[in-house]
Amino acid sequence: MTTVRQLCVELSDAFDAFGVRLPGRESRLGDPVETVMPELADKLADELLRHAEGRPVVLYGHCAGAAVAYEVARRLGPARVRALVVSSHPAPGSVRREPTWALPRPDFLQQVVTDGYLPSQLLANEELLDIIEPALRADYELVDAYELELYENGAGEPVPVPTVAVFGHDDHTVEPAHIDAWSALTTGPFRVVSLPGGHDLPSSRPAELAAAIREALAACA
Least Cα distance to 90 among 146, 169, 153, 173 occurs for: 173
Assign a CATH topology to domain 2-96+157-220.
Answer: Rossmann fold (3.40.50)
Least Cα distance to 64 among 28, 37, 30, 42 occurs for: 37
Percent of the chain, pLDDT > 70? 95
Cα separation, 168 vs 130, whole angstroms:
31
Q: Binning pLDDT at 50, 70 and 90, where does residue 1 land?
A: very low
pLDDT tens for residues 11-36? 888 888 888 888 666 667 667 888 99
Which residues touch 208 (CB under 8 Å, ≥6 apart)?
195, 196, 197, 201
Least Cα distance to 215 among 193, 196, 197 occurs for: 193
pLDDT tens for residues 165-207? 999 999 988 999 999 999 999 999 999 999 999 988 988 899 9
- CB distance 148 to 141 below 8 Å: no
Q: Tell me the chain's radius of gyration from C-alpha atoms.
A: 17
Q: How do the domains of the chain map onto residue ranges?
A: 2-96+157-220
Sign of CA dihedral 119, 203, 40, 176: negative
Max Cα-Cα span within the chain:
49
Helices (H), ranges, the chain: 5-11, 37-52, 64-76, 105-114, 126-153, 176-180, 201-204, 206-220
Reported pTM? 0.91
Phi, psi of 216 (to 5 degrees): -65, -40
pLDDT over 70 at 159, yes or no: yes
pLDDT over 50 at 162, yes or no: yes
